[in-house]
Chains A and B, each alone.
Chain A
Amino acid sequence: MIRTHALTFAYPHSATLQFPDVDVPQGAVLLLKGASGCGKSTWLALVAGLVRPAAGQLVVAGQDLNALISVAADAWRASAVGFLPQKLHLSAALTVTQNLQVAQWAAGRAQDAPAIAAALAALGVADLASRKPAQLSGGQAQRVALARAVLQKPQVILADEPTASLDDEAALDAVHLLLSTAQAQQATLVIATHDARVAALLEPALPAAMQLQRLQLQRPV
């Protein structure tokens, strides 16, 4: 779940960003829309506990983020938030398996080979485990990155522009994949995008059990 109230964030020497309140229950989908520069990234960073709000309340996965100090926020983020970045940032030097091992390393967890195998298998990329990212297609790489995001079974999955630079067919695949993964994990899914196709693709694909909310961000005045 994600709940915000009167959330604001202030960049130095810049206008203060004010975010509309949201109350997304556990297991729901939030479509975060807005043109670039209106604060999508900032909102994601706030929800991931990477930056602190100037004011307002922010509760994510049952945790009041204002109450976390930075090191605790890192540990909390490792277990509660899964992140699928726009550029996937799979490390080119490492194999698919090693890229997932890095996620466990970053989270400060012991190496857990069965968990990695299971995460890869759930996304249908188990047979690519020993490949390097350069040997993957775009779709395969996105599946690996998603496997990395959900490896720690997070309660919140943040997907940043998951359909950018994908054609229509691949975009549909990506949306399906995100929805099915979130549903399987019973995680709250946030899709941040300025891609108008996503909204159109999302509604027919949405499972009956999942609730859809929208958050439209406006450029600050």
Chain B
Amino acid sequence: MKTVSLAWTYLWSRPLSAALNLLLLSLGLASITFLLLVSEQLSKAFERDLQGIDVVVGAKGSPMQLILSGVFHIDVPPGNVPLKAVQELKKHPMVAQVIPISLGDSLHSFRIVGTSTDYISHYQAQLAQGQLWTQPMQVVLGATAAHKLGLVMGQTFVGTHGLAEGGHVHGDSVYTVVGILAPSGSVLDRLILTDTASVWKVHEDYTAVDDEDRQIMIDEREVTMALVRYRSPLAAVSFPRHINTSTEMQAAAPALEITRLLSMLGLGTDVLRAFAGVLLLTAGLSVFIALWSAVRERRGDLALLRMLGAPPRKVAALLLLEALWLGLLAAVLGVLAGQGMTAALAWLLQLDNSLLIGGMAWPAGLWGVPAVALGVSLVAAILPALGAYRVSVLELLQGK
């Protein structure tokens, strides 16, 4: 009989206590796994959608709202800005690229985004079917949007006003699907993309009463915001200030806002982490109590092992291994449960067409979880193992 299998048998000789300790340890580890995975996936999702966007220019208001609505498409935009002002941006010497974003309509809560084809090439998205739009009222669907809406190539639909469901139906303006993107893992997956001009057309067709009216509207055309890429990183110093002071618009740096957002979330995760820590501490104590009482209960049995010729370190190793079994099982269960909780969250968010969180992942930090599990169980086992090491056979003989 091997020491590991003997330890296993002893562990499960008290099944209720073993199962409860396993549950406690696993819960603590699952919370830690969940926190690790979610914060990892969140920053990854942010990073992915932020790449190459140096600054977002839009209506004055909350800079974070501007970023959340324009880059991640999870909030409503603060307002619109004149098209002319955005066109001026392109002439600025520090600006390499300007991608216009126009929000306003949606289809079953999937946003219809008026933009340029630069938006698609910015995220290096590939077409799975069809082609990019060549004229207004043609749309290219993100992979998730196409799948969820059940739209296929050549199909037509009308959008509704507003970003949520239940808006006014733009009955006369019919969009046609000309392309569907392959899944890219970026924000594009859950968007309906069309030319900026489509958005103007829908609303002008709907509101204009005569040609003169229409001309005024054309002169006052707006977009919601512009995603700007700098020629040089140095622009980050002066360009936002220039926009904020000398125009009616505001410039928001996504990196800055996301850092702010993550640090606000960070406060929350710190609290959760502290809870997970308390849970683990409790689990460690409970394992300690279980092992300690096991040593007291089996004092005679352990002494007999010494009598049968087992050296003290072998008896102590038996206790340590019993704890390590518990830690190992808890690590496996905890990581699995944590992954499951993350997958459930990802599923919920995806139902919401909100942020995309990937499925199974194993960031390097996750190796800390089994390490913590084994660490906690080892620390909990030190005193009981010492007790087992020092168990006195003479006491056994004297019937104490």
**A residues engaging B (CB < 8 A)?**
41-42, 44-45, 48, 50-51, 70-71, 74-75, 77-79, 83, 85-87, 89, 91-94, 98, 101-108, 111, 148, 152, 160
Task: Report if B309 contacts A (CB, 8 A).
Answer: yes
Let me know if B301 and A89 touch, CB within 8 A: yes
Known: A42-B394, A45-B394, A89-B304. A74 touches B6 (CB 8 A): no
- Given A42-B394, A50-B394, A93-B13, answer yes or no on A77-B1 (Cβ-Cβ < 8 Å): no
Interface presence of B314 (CB below 8 A): yes
Which residue in A41, A51, A78 is a CB contact (below 8 Å) of B309?
A: A78
Contact partner, A79, options B309, B396, B398, B399, Cβ 8 Å: B309
A-B pairs with lowest CB-CB distance, top 6: A78-B309, A93-B13, A106-B310, A106-B308, A41-B397, A101-B1
* Chain B interface helix/strand/loop/mixed: helix
28 A-B pairs with C-beta separation under 8 A: A44-B397, A45-B393, A51-B394, A70-B311, A74-B306, A75-B309, A77-B307, A78-B309, A83-B307, A85-B304, A89-B304, A89-B396, A91-B13, A91-B301, A93-B13, A98-B1, A98-B9, A102-B305, A104-B1, A106-B305, A106-B309, A106-B314, A107-B308, A107-B309, A108-B310, A148-B308, A152-B309, A160-B397
Kindly list chain A residues whose C-beta atoms are within 8 Å of the C-beta of B307: 48, 50, 77, 83, 85
Cβ contact within 8 Å between B305 and A85? no
Chain B residues, Cβ within 8 Å of A93? 9-10, 12-13
Question: Across the interface, do B311 and A71 meet the contact criterion of CB distance under 8 Å?
Answer: yes
A148 to B301, CA, bound (A): 13
A105 close to B310 (CB less than 8 A): yes
Are B397 and A85 in contact, CB atoms less than 8 angstroms apart? Answer: yes
- Please name the residue on chain A nearest to B318 by beta carbon: A105
Closest to B302 in A: A89
CB distance from B77 to the nearest CB of A (A): 67
A41 touches B300 (CB 8 A): no
A78 & B394 in contact (Cβ 8 Å cutoff) = no
List 10 extra interface pairs beyond A77-B308, A91-B10, CB under 8 A. Answer: A45-B397, A78-B309, A78-B310, A83-B307, A89-B304, A91-B298, A92-B13, A104-B1, A105-B6, A108-B314
- Name the distance in Å between B17's Cβ and chain A's nearest Cβ: 12
Q: Which one, A71, A105, A107, contacts B3 given CB within 8 A?
A: A105
Note all chain A residues with C-beta closer than 8 A to B3: 105
Q: Which residue in chain A gives the minimum CB-CB distance to B303? A: A89
Rounded to whole angstroms, the CA-CA distance of A160 and B307 in the bound complex is 13
Q: How far is the CB of B180 from the nearest CB of chain A, in Å? A: 62
